[in-house]
């Protein structure tokens, strides 16, 4: 015998119990909202670079070199066999840009030649004439520059004709200097006497042959001074450095949020079946097959999940789309726009399938049990072996919840996972804060730098309050065998550990000029281990070799960093220089040292830990975290309300007896609070353990496997989350008590 089927029959059944259907729909919507947030954030960040790169037609290689006549460079590029297309620009840095009160002396002007552009026009048109300028989106947003208005560029005033997005760098103000584009024709008029080029954009026929092409390009580059290549993957790495770990953390969080939403959806659907267990028994008693019972539950759940899931996903997407889009804008990447509808539609299908399966499975299992057992086991509470709990109304509530052990454990598990995710977000926020303010986090032990010749290091070291000072040589090099792998080489004249001491993962520290410690990021990419030889090609084209003696867990440059002594580097590039790193003495005042350095005519810069130094950018990230946390908080509230609604419904006769004896709303609320509290008390340690032992290490590993991120939360944050859970328990019990208060006492008394 089959149950009356079809979506219309399901709709009729659901309309017959509107309250319960609404509760189920709210649960699906809450979990779907979390999923929507995760999909929006995760998909947006994961695909942002590729989307922007495709839209902007980002070249496979960007080559920078000293000024050369175009014909001279073009002759060499044309000779490359893998060349598909090329375009030239002339870049000027340190140009004054001004729009009204906004002004910067760090402007970057790029004169674009004919051919492919390598940037996308987001608004307006591209440059055509000498009087026109296209501004980067970051500048347009930050300064409120609109198409049609004029912008002072250097000595002249140009008409803004368009706004461009180019993902070959992060956006202003995350990038120090804003970029604008002018027509090649404007070169002679405004910026240079001769139309030379210093930047070439190269598109390849076969990007997989990038290494071979770069080798050929280097071989053909004789006479091109200051040649540096930036590959598309290198651009990606550079941009990732800007948001770096935080973007990776958000993507990692989205994965965890996704899993958490899945668990919640399944638990919610299973709880609904549990609530309707007696109905299953009746259906079986009337002769319906387990299959038809399961199908009915699957269909009923799907009919609820489809609209509720759509609403929840839409809410999650809307809440997180704005902050997510601002984050992408900061990275010069594009929001997915309507493309996001695809993943959201897939997520909706997933939600419906998950809810239907989660409803069908326990229904099928229940329907296969003996009918009498299902009918008896419906909602009859069993009070065997209830643990010793406090007396009073709160204690009574705790006992009522503890009676249903399996349900309580399931609720504790779901709430614990959600609480763990919230704690992880707090840990991430704390990490962001530390990344911004605490250089020690990334192994930096110096607090100030000054741009000064290496010879002044001793003079600075003698200043009161200064513990040590040494030149910090930095050069970006390429691996000689895999030229696409760029890495950062940091060199100190002596022991580097007083200034930078990333934890040693293997081997030992550098002791001589021919040795190097290698970050695990580059070690993993190149398969380098202690004992191996590392050959690096410097920007000058000279090669230097080091023996790898240790692996370090370095944050810097995503772990693509090499620590060594400068002798070999200086031999290969005598012009190499770097700022002087200053380590303050214990208890020394930074301000005092800054004043003393000022008296020497030096301008010290404070050292930060984060790869990004922009407070606005961190604010965007914080907004994103808050949005996700808000959704998660609502989900936690729903979990508690649903657990209480189930307990209240099951124990309505108990509540009715209490009310008949003179219990008012306040006492009922206390009973329900006790039922919620016992769940919270179980979930809180689970959440803490989950964060410390599972989520934080997992997120850390997903975000940056090359270091150990200190994502563990502090006592204060744990206290905040536990207090938040208790507040949510109070709110949930108030909501459920209010609902119960509307029911007539007599109805509850008759329920047995």
Classify the phi-psi angles of 478: left when phi > 0, otherwise alpha if psi is within -120 to 50, otherwise beta: beta
Q: Which is nearer to another protein, 8 or 409 (CB)?
A: 409
Instruction: Identify the residue among 383, 586, 599, 715 touching another protein (CB under 8 A).
Output: 383
Other beta carbons within 10 angstroms of residue 687's beta carbon come to: 29
Q: Which stretch binds another protein (CB under 8 A): 201-209, 356-364, 387-395, 569-577?
A: 387-395
Q: Which is nearer to another protein, 583 or 652 (CB)?
A: 652
Q: Which stretch binds another protein (CB under 8 A): 28-36, 390-398, 598-606, 618-626?
A: 390-398
Total interface residues for another protein by CB under 8 A: 31
Q: Phi first, then psi: what are they for 313, rounded to 5°?
A: -60, -40
Sequence-ordered list of residues with C-beta below 8 angstroms from that of 156, at least 6 positions apart, any chain: 190
Q: Which is nearer to another protein, 515 or 667 (CB)?
A: 667
Instruction: Identify the residue among 129, 664, 714, 716 touching another protein (CB under 8 A).
Output: 664
Sequence-ordered list of residues with C-beta below 8 angstroms from that of 233, at least 6 positions apart, any chain: 484
Q: Angle at which helices 341-368 and 290-330 pack, to 10 degrees?
A: 150
Q: Which is nearer to another protein, 568 or 659 (CB)?
A: 659
Separation between Cα atoms, residue 632 and residue 348, nearest integer Å: 18
Residue 598's alpha-carbon distances to 460, 461, 594, in angstroms, are 11, 14, 6
Q: Phi first, then psi: what are they for 515, rounded to 5°?
A: -110, 160
Work out whether 399 is an interface residue with another protein (CB under 8 A).
Answer: yes
Q: DSSP assignment of 110-151, as one string? A: EEE-SS--SSEEEEE----STTEEEEEHHHHHHHT--TTSEE
Q: Which of 732, 91, 132, 674 is nearest to 386 (CA)?
A: 674
Work out whether 673 is an interface residue with another protein (CB under 8 A).
Answer: no
Q: Which is nearer to another protein, 372 or 746 (CB)?
A: 746
Q: Which stretch binds another protein (CB under 8 A): 151-159, 386-394, 449-457, 594-602?
A: 386-394
Q: Which of 382, 375, 376 is nearest to 408 (CA)?
A: 382
CB 97 within 8 A of CB 169: no
CB of 666 to another protein, least distance (A): 10
Separation between Cα atoms, residue 329 and residue 171, nearest integer Å: 7
CB of 21 to another protein, least distance (A): 24
Q: Angle at which helices 341-368 and 277-285 pack, to 10 degrees?
A: 60
Q: Which is nearer to another protein, 393 or 706 (CB)?
A: 393
Sketch the per residue contact string, 343 through 382, with another protein: x for CB under 8 A, - otherwise. --------------------------------------xx
CB of 610 to another protein, least distance (A): 54
Task: Pinpoint the alpha helices (H) of 144-195.
Answer: 186
CB 115 within 8 A of CB 85: yes
CB of 402 to another protein, least distance (A): 8
Q: Which stretch binds another protein (CB under 8 A): 242-250, 502-510, 598-606, 662-670?
A: 662-670
Touching another protein, residues 500-519 (CB under 8 A): none
Query: Three-class SS string for 685-734?
Result: HHHHHHHHHHHHHHHHHHHCCCCCCCCCCCHHHHHHHHHHHHHHHHHHHH
Query: Three-class SS string for 290-309?
Result: HHHHHHHHHHHHHHHHHHHH
The DSSP secondary-structure symbol of 554 reads -
Q: Which is nearer to another protein, 387 or 453 (CB)?
A: 387
Q: Which is nearer to another protein, 285 or 746 (CB)?
A: 746
Q: Which stretch binds another protein (CB under 8 A): 90-98, 388-396, 498-506, 674-682?
A: 388-396
Work out whether 403 is an interface residue with another protein (CB under 8 A).
Answer: yes
Separation between Cα atoms, residue 702 and residue 200, nearest integer Å: 35
Separation between Cα atoms, residue 391 and residue 398, nearest integer Å: 9
End-to-end CA distance of the chain: 30
Work out whether 657 is an interface residue with another protein (CB under 8 A).
Answer: yes
CB of 383 to another protein, least distance (A): 4
Query: Over the Cα atoms of the chain, what is R_g?
Result: 32
Other beta carbons within 10 angstroms of residue 400's beta carbon come to: 26
Instruction: Identify the residue among 71, 338, 661, 715 touching another protein (CB under 8 A).
Output: 661
Q: Which is nearer to another protein, 1 or 383 (CB)?
A: 383
Instruction: Identify the residue among 660, 693, 719, 723 touching another protein (CB under 8 A).
Output: 660
Work out whether 648 is an interface residue with another protein (CB under 8 A).
Answer: no
Work out whether 388 is an interface residue with another protein (CB under 8 A).
Answer: no
Instruction: Identify the residue among 140, 628, 658, 696 touching another protein (CB under 8 A).
Output: 658
Q: Which is nearer to another protein, 89 or 407 (CB)?
A: 407
51 alpha-carbon distance from chain centroid:
17
Work out whether 54 is an interface residue with another protein (CB under 8 A).
Answer: no
Separation between Cα atoms, residue 60 and residue 245, nearest integer Å: 25
Q: Which is nearer to another protein, 399 or 568 (CB)?
A: 399
Separation between Cα atoms, residue 593 and residue 584, nearest integer Å: 8
Q: Which is nearer to another protein, 208 or 391 (CB)?
A: 391
CB 299 within 8 A of CB 10: yes
CB of 611 to another protein, least distance (A): 56
Q: Which is nearer to another protein, 8 or 382 (CB)?
A: 382
3-class SS of residue 741: helix
Q: Which is nearer to another protein, 462 or 666 (CB)?
A: 666
Work out whether 647 is an interface residue with another protein (CB under 8 A).
Answer: no
Work out whether 92 is an interface residue with another protein (CB under 8 A).
Answer: no
Q: Which is nearer to another protein, 194 or 388 (CB)?
A: 388
Instruction: Identify the residue among 35, 663, 679, 732 touching another protein (CB under 8 A).
Output: 663
Touching another protein, residues 702-741 (CB under 8 A): 741
Q: Phi first, then psi: what are they for 150, rounded to 5°?
A: -105, 150
CB 680 within 8 A of CB 418: no
Sequence-ordered list of residues with C-beta below 8 angstroms from that of 599, at least 6 positions apart, any chain: none
Give the CA angle between residues 179, 152, 193 to the nearest 5°. Answer: 80
Instruction: Identify the residue among 155, 193, 391, 455 touching another protein (CB under 8 A).
Output: 391
Q: Which is nearer to another protein, 363 or 675 (CB)?
A: 675
Work out whether 654 is an interface residue with another protein (CB under 8 A).
Answer: yes
Touching another protein, residues 533-552 (CB under 8 A): none
Q: Which is nearer to another protein, 395 or 498 (CB)?
A: 395
CB of 654 to another protein, least distance (A): 5
Instruction: Identify the residue among 105, 287, 390, 392 touching another protein (CB under 8 A).
Output: 392
Work out whether 400 is an interface residue with another protein (CB under 8 A).
Answer: yes
Work out whether 649 is an interface residue with another protein (CB under 8 A).
Answer: no
Separation between Cα atoms, residue 421 and residue 433, nearest integer Å: 18
CB of 659 to another protein, least distance (A): 7
49 alpha-carbon distance from chain centroid:
14
Work out whether 390 is an interface residue with another protein (CB under 8 A).
Answer: no
Work out whether 662 is an interface residue with another protein (CB under 8 A).
Answer: yes
Which stretches of the chain bind another protein, using CB under 8 A?
A: 381-384, 386, 391-393, 396, 399-400, 402-403, 653-654, 656-664, 667, 741, 744-746, 749, 752
């Amino acid at each position: 015998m089959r149950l009356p089927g079809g979506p219309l029959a399901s709709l009729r059944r659901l309309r017959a119990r509107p309250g319960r259907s609404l509760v189920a729909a709210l649960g699906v919507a809450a979990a779907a909202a979390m999923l929507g947030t995760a999909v929006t954030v995760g998909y947006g960040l994961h695909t942002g670079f590729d989307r922007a790169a495709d839209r902007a037609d980002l070249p496979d290689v960007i080559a920078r070199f000293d000024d050369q006549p175009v014909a001279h460079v073009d002759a060499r590029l044309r000779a490359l066999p893998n060349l598909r297309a090329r375009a030239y620009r002339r870049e000027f840095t340190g140009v004054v840009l001004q729009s009204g009160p906004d002004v910067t002396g760090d402007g970057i002007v790029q004169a674009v030649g004919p051919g492919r552009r390598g940037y996308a026009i987001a608004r307006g048109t591209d440059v055509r004439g000498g009087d026109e300028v296209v501004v980067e989106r970051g500048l347009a947003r930050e300064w409120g520059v609109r198409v049609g208005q004029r912008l002072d560029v250097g000595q002249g005033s140009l008409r803004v004709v368009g706004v461009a997005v180019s993902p070959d760098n992060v956006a202003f103000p995350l990038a120090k200097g804003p970029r604008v584009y002018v027509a090649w024709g404007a070169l002679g008029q405004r910026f240079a006497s001769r139309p030379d080029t210093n930047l070439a954009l190269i598109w390849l026929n076969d990007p997989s042959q990038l290494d071979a092409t770069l080798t050929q390009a280097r071989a053909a580059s004789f006479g091109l001074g200051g040649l540096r290549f930036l590959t598309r993957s290198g651009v990606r790495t550079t941009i990732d450095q800007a948001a770096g770990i935080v973007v990776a953390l958000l993507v990692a969080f989205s994965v965890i949020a996704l899993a958490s939403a899945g668990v919640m959806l399944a638990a919610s659907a299973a709880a609904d079946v549990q609530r309707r267990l007696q109905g299953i028994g009746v259906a079986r008693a009337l002769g319906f097959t387990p299959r038809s019972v399961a199908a009915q539950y699957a269909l009923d759940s799907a009919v609820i999940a489809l609209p509720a899931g759509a609403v929840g996903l839409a809410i999650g997407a809307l809440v997180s789309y704005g902050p997510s889009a601002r984050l992408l804008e900061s990275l010069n990447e594009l929001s997915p726009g309507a493309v996001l509808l695809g993943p959201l539609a897939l997520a909706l299908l997933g939600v419906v399938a998950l809810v239907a399966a989660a409803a069908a499975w326990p229904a099928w299992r229940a329907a296969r049990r003996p009918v009498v057992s299902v009918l008896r086991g419906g909602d009859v509470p069993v009070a065997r072996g209830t643990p010793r709990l406090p007396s009073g109304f709160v204690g009574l509530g705790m006992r009522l919840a503890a009676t249903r052990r399996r349900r309580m454990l399931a609720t504790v598990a779901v709430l614990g996972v959600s609480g763990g995710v919230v704690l992880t977000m707090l840990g991430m926020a704390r990490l962001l804060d530390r990344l911004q303010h605490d250089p020690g986090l990334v192994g930096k032990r110096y607090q100030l730098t000054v741009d000064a010749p290496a010879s002044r290091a001793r003079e600075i070291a003698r200043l009161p309050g200064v513990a040590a000072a040494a030149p910090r040589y930095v050069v970006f090099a390429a691996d000689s065998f895999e030229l696409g792998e760029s890495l950062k080489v940091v060199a100190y004249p002596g022991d580097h550990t007083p200034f930078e001491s990333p934890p040693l993962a293997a081997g030992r520290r550098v002791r001589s000029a021919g040795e190097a410690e290698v970050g695990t990021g580059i070690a993993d990419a190149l398969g380098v281990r202690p004992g191996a030889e590392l050959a690096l090609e410097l920007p000058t084209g000279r090669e230097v070799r080091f023996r790898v003696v240790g692996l370090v867990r370095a944050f810097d440059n995503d772990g693509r960093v090499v620590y060594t002594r400068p002798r070999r580097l200086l031999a290969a590039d005598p012009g190499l220089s770097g700022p002087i790193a200053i380590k303050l003495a214990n208890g020394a005042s930074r301000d005092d040292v800054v004043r003393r350095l000022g008296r020497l005519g030096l301008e010290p810069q404070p050292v930060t830990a984060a790869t990004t130094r922009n407070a606005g950018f961190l604010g965007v990230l914080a907004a994103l975290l808050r949005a996700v946390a808000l959704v998660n908080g609502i989900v936690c509230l729903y979990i508690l309300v649903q657990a209480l609604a189930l307990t209240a419904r099951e124990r309505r006769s108990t509540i009715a007896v209490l009310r008949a004896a003179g219990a008012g709303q306040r006492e009922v609320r206390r009973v329900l609070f006790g039922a919620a509290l016992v769940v919270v008390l179980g979930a809180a340690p689970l959440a803490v353990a989950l964060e410390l032992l599972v989520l934080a290490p997992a997120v850390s590993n997903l975000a940056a496997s090359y270091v150990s991120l200190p994502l563990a939360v502090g006592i204060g944050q744990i206290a905040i989350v536990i207090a938040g859970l208790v507040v949510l328990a109070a709110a949930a019990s108030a909501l459920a008590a209010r609902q119960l208060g509307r029911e007539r006492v007599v109805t509850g008394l008759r329920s047995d």
